[in-house]
Amino acid sequence: MSGTAEADTVHETRRLAAEADLVVVKAGTNSLTDEQSNLDDSKVNKLVDDVMDLRQQGKRVLLVSSGAVGAGKGLIGLTDETVEQSQALSTVGQSQLMRRYTERFEQFDQTVAQILLTENDLEDPDRFTNFTNTVETLLEWDIVPIINENDAVATEELRIGDNDMLSSSVAIGIGADLLVTLTDVGGVYTGNPKKDPSAERIETISSNYAAVQELVDESSKDAFGGIRTKVAGARAASEHGIPAIIAKSTESDVLDKISAAEQVGTLFIPTNGDDDD
């Protein structure tokens, strides 16, 4: 692809992202909690404000939110827990998380709804139909669905494993127009920006996916979480024709900038299933 053609493709993808009507926004635990695993009011408020920037433009938004286990750890005071304790912590943290979301969204007269999912809900056709019907009804009522994995009942066999993949699966399943993953880094980099000050942000990912994947594998050691699943989730969405963006949650008016077609984070160009490897 020539430089001009590639630039045109990037411009068109930013336009599609800006004009998206149905948007899935995923927020990670670090975008919602402080260093002591307590919910950070300023972070929660900013996320809600950013989501409402889209809502006030008439866009429909689904929020996929992590943070339940993290918030539970902060409240209970645990730093190292068993799987069973993590499941229990999620129930404590989830109630606190939804309370904060409800309080902040109410300041905009915006109603929210909670949906908890397991892998089985996405893989079983009947259960997935029930899920999509519920989402469609909530959106018709101008309600913002807030989705999280149901950690309290999920087993190793049923766990979706990471909300990055959950948000991608939801975006694909409901036919979203855009997937935005908000994280504590500004996108995908040539190295781990937390450890490598020379790491540079990669502005767009399309035919360079294989090379980017190698960089991600080298800079990330975590099998779950971290940048790996964010890239995998965004890539999966792009393979289904959905523009995807990984961006920094603390960036000012981050979602509003995306809806203005500004350069934000790392943009994944839809491939529609083409093999770019």
224-235 average pLDDT score: 81
Cα diameter, the chain? 56
**169 Cβ neighbours under 8 A, 6+ residues apart:** 122, 160, 236
Does the pLDDT at position 54 exceed 90?
A: yes
Q: How confident is the model at residue 219 (pLDDT cuts 50, 70, 90)?
A: low
Tokens 């972070």 correspond to: 43
Q: How confident is the model at residue 168 (pLDDT cuts 50, 70, 90)?
A: very high
> How many other C-beta atoms lie within 10 A of the C-beta of residue 95?
15
C-alpha to C-alpha distance for 10 and 4, rounded to whole angstroms: 10
Q: What is the pLDDT of residues 69-118, one digit of tens each?
A: 888 887 888 777 777 888 888 888 899 999 999 999 999 999 999 999 98
C-alpha to C-alpha distance for 133 and 153, rounded to whole angstroms: 23
Predicted confidence at residue 154, as pLDDT, reads: 67
Predicted confidence at residue 274, as pLDDT, reads: 45
Strand pairing partners for 33? 39
Q: How far is CA 118 from CA 70, 208, 226, 270, in A?
A: 19, 32, 20, 27
Predicted confidence at residue 198, as pLDDT, reads: 86
Number of helical H runs and strand E runs in the chain: 10, 10
Q: What is the pLDDT of residues 257-277, one digit of tens each?
A: 999 999 999 999 998 644 444
**138 Cβ neighbours under 8 A, 6+ residues apart:** 113, 144, 145
Predicted confidence at residue 210, as pLDDT, reads: 80
**pLDDT higher for 64 or 161?**
64
Q: What is the pLDDT of residues 4-52, one digit of tens each?
A: 777 888 999 999 999 999 999 999 888 998 888 888 999 999 999 999 9
Would you say the pTM of this structure is higher than 0.85? yes
**Rounded to an integer, what is the distance from CA 65 to the centroid of its chain?**
7
